[in-house]
């Protein structure tokens, strides 16, 4: 499943470019980016990237918003039917899940084309835990629809009930999050046209695709 719409991802990654970096530490940079994006811990990120804590938090919140859109697609939510309260529940769900993000960032290796950094990611198993319950509920929901059990209810009411039940199932597993087997990745960093070090969209996406197992 394609987890990032390319244009939105690029907008986020433009913030990641490391400007004015003397004595650039590629490993520290990668960890700072991940800590900010998943844990909302911005101290190292703001120092390395030379940005403000508010701007760093906006990067974090933008990531949650995009992840919420992925959830809508994954769970067959019609985004137009998602009200403000439900949208906030989804963002809060991912904020809680991201706090469990687990990864190790190794030492950087300098090469002729830039740096490579080894990253080990332990994918969060939130949806693995919830899958049996989700499948049972969705199957029953569609059966109820076919049987006319929702006759008399509006499409908005039916969507709201479906969204609430799906979210409740997933939310119930956040506090028992575990991990899939670790995934080994190699992330490449290069200079951009302005001479600033940073991760490209493909490098970041390779990490992001593994943080939460779908």
Summarize pLDDT for 88-112 with one digit per residue, the tens.
999 999 999 999 999 999 989 998 8
The first and second tokens of residue 117, run together, are 């950094």
What's the CA gap between 185 and 197, in Å, rounded? 19
Element (H, E) at 119: strand 114-122
The residues with which 187 forms a beta bridge, in sequence order, are 117
Distance CA 151, CA 127 (A): 31
pLDDT in tens, 182-202: 999 999 998 877 778 888 778
Task: Say whether pLDDT at 21 is over 80.
Answer: no
What does the pLDDT read at residue 204? Answer: 87
Q: Are strands 114-122 and 183-191 parallel, antiparallel or unpaired?
A: antiparallel
Rounded CA gap, 109 and 121, in Å? 19
When mean pLDDT is compared across 12-26, 87-101, 123-137, 145-159, the lowest value belongs to 12-26
94 SS3 class: helix
Q: Helix axis angle, 84-98 relative to 53-74, nearest 10°? A: 110
């Amino acid at each position: 499943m394609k987890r990032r719409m390319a244009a939105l991802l690029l907008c986020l990654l433009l913030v990641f470019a490391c400007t004015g970096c003397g004595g650039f530490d590629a490993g520290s940079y990668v960890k700072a980016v991940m800590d900010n994006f998943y844990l909302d811990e911005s101290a190292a990120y703001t120092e390395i990237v030379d940005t403000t804590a508010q701007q760093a938090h906006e990067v974090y919140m933008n990531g949650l918003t995009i992840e919420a859109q992925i959830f809508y697609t994954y769970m067959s939510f019609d985004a137009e039917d998602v009200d403000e309260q439900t949208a906030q529940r989804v963002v809060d769900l991912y904020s809680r899940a991201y706090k469990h993000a687990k990864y190790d960032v190794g030492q950087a290796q300098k090469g002729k084309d830039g740096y490579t950094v080894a990253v080990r990611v332990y994918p969060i198993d939130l949806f693995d835990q919830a899958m049996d319950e989700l499948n049972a509920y969705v199957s029953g929901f569609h059966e109820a629809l076919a049987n006319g059990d929702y006759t008399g209810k509006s499409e908005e009411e039916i969507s709201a009930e479906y969204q609430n039940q799906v979210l409740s199932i997933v939310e119930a597993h956040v506090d028992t999050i575990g991990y899939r087997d670790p995934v080994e990745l190699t992330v490449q960093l290069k200079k951009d046209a302005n001479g600033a070090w940073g991760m490209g969209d493909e490098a970041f996406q390779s990490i992001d695709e593994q943080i939460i197992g779908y």
